[in-house]
Amino acid sequence: MSPLLPLLALTPALAVHAAEPASFPPARKTQECVPRNGLPNFLKKAQSGSRLKVAYLGGSITAQPGYRVKTLAHFRETYPQSKFEEINAAIGGTGSDLGAYRVEKDALQHHPDLLFIEFAVNDGGALPKEIVRAMEGIVRKTWHLLPECDICFVYTFTESLLPELRAGQLNRSAATMEVVADHYGIPTVHLGLEAVRLESEGKLLMRAPEAKVERVSGDAPNQASPIPLSPDGKIPFSMDGVHPYVDTGHALYSQAWIRSLPKLASDKTGARSLPSPLDPLHYQNTAVVPLAAATKSGSWTELPADHVFSKNFSNRIGQVWKGEPGAELRLRFKGHSVKLYDLLTPDSGLLEVSVDGKISERRRFDSYCVYSRIGSVTLATGLDPEAVHEVRVRVLPGPLDKEKILFERNRADFIKDPARFKDHVWYGGAILLCGEWIP
């Protein structure tokens, strides 16, 4: 299997949850499928012998060859008269905040007929108001550009969410997304409730690191197909309590979708009209500005096309730049939110951020940085949308105690090759704005 990807913001954001109203989101009981307005346009086209595109926007659970591959196979089996094409818009370790910025490039430009959105796990540490802004930004962008594209929110789960789900309650991020789904009439499917039931009955192991069931297959997940069992007769769901095995956890996820699909039929075909937004600071009107456009000082290197980071990541984040300690970039914009689209790597370090003179730091190294991956970092959000804001970012020399940050999970990698971690640099690709770039 590929390296397991981290969940987003599971600790820093928790400290500010007290700022959210205690009543939001309202408690929501679990339900495998809430049809709302269904998927009328997609299903009508699927039954008519058309060519359809299905986009999957999500994190590492969507990136796995699991429910994404299996649901597409089910469409092909169920509607053999039609042709289905996949748009894989998943990036591990990322949430709806980045999804709102990248959905156009990674999914909508390919004109999907159906858009799956899976961020309930990676949004676990996000503030509810930010989830609302991001999720309705994705919805509003989609229906502004493609008003006949159907949307479905899908929810997955992790071991840490079991207590709430056993009690019949959605976790906070999914309950927040339900508010958005209610407002826009979007169907939602919780893929994990059958797995939760089996676990509560002692028939499923949430974490089974020694299981040998990983067979990457595109076969349709027929509900009658047997799911492999461990020697003790239980279903091994995942290796780590998060990322399901393809032929067990993802088979259960896919079967939930198969059970739900007939409920999503509807006669309400046609273009969607957008209601008033839930939050005026939603992420519909965004801009992705190449890092090259910012004013720079200090030591910056534009990585060549044959650099491994350019090969692996430029299709997502654009041209990659490397900033050495002391390197600065400055920008101005009018709007309410600014982020950076960047990489987290073994040699990443620390950023000093100044927004309208308010200085803070952002650490771009975490306990998963034994390999390099895409990330994003919020510099400021909730700003005055009518004001012009001044932003400065400086790469700090450190030092970070990287061995300590890696914890026991990946400390052996540091001990084996500490030279990989000695530098404190930063790799960036783009500036993400809700607002207007000011050159």
Q: What mean pLDDT do residues 415-437 have? A: 96
Q: What mean pLDDT do residues 395-413 have? A: 89
pLDDT over threshold 90, residue 407: no
Q: Give the pLDDT score at 96.
A: 98
Do the domains spanning 12-264 and 286-438 agree at the CATH topology level? no
Q: What is the dihedral of CA 262, 267, 270, 271, to 10 degrees?
A: -70
Residue 87's SS3 state is strand
Q: For residue 386, give every residue at least 6 positions away whose Cβ sits within 8 Å of its Cβ, in sequence order, or none.
A: 334
Question: In Å, what is the CA distance from 374 to each residue of 59, 109, 313, 354?
Answer: 11, 21, 7, 23
pLDDT over threshold 80, residue 227: no
pLDDT over threshold 60, residue 12: no
Report whether 179 contacts 132 (CB < 8 A).
yes
Q: Which pair of tokens denotes residue 267?
A: 């006669």
In the chain, % of residues over pLDDT 90: 86
Compute the distance between CA of residue 185 and CA of residue 370 in angstroms, rounded to an integer. Answer: 42
Q: Give the pLDDT score at 232.
A: 81
Q: Give the pLDDT score at 14.
A: 28
CA atoms within 13 A on the CB side of 78: 18
> What DSSP letter does each residue of 313-366 carry, written as one string?
HHHHH-S-EEE-TT-EEEEEEEEEEEEEEEEE-TTB-EEEEEETTEEEEEE---
Burial of 409 (0-12, 13-18, 19+ CB in 10 A): exposed
Query: For 286-438, CATH number?
Result: 2.60.120.260
Q: What mean pLDDT do residues 9-32 have? A: 62
Query: For 12-264, CATH number?
Result: 3.40.50.1110
Q: What mean pLDDT do residues 338-345 have? A: 98
φ/ψ of 252, rounded to 5, equals -65, -40
Q: What mean pLDDT do residues 279-302 have? A: 96
pLDDT over threshold 70, residue 18: no
Report whether 323 contacts 397 (CB < 8 A).
no
Q: What mean pLDDT do residues 175-187 have? A: 98
The end-to-end CA distance of the chain, in Å, is 44
Strands 350-355 and 358-363: antiparallel
This prediction has a pTM of 0.91
Report whether 186 contacts 150 (CB < 8 A).
no
φ/ψ of 248, rounded to 5, equals -125, -75
Q: Which pair of tokens denotes residue 253?
A: 């996820």
pLDDT over threshold 60, residue 80: yes
Residue 59's SS3 state is coil
Q: What mean pLDDT do residues 137-159 have? A: 98
Q: Give the pLDDT score at 4.
A: 56
Q: Where are the domains of the chain?
A: 12-264, 286-438
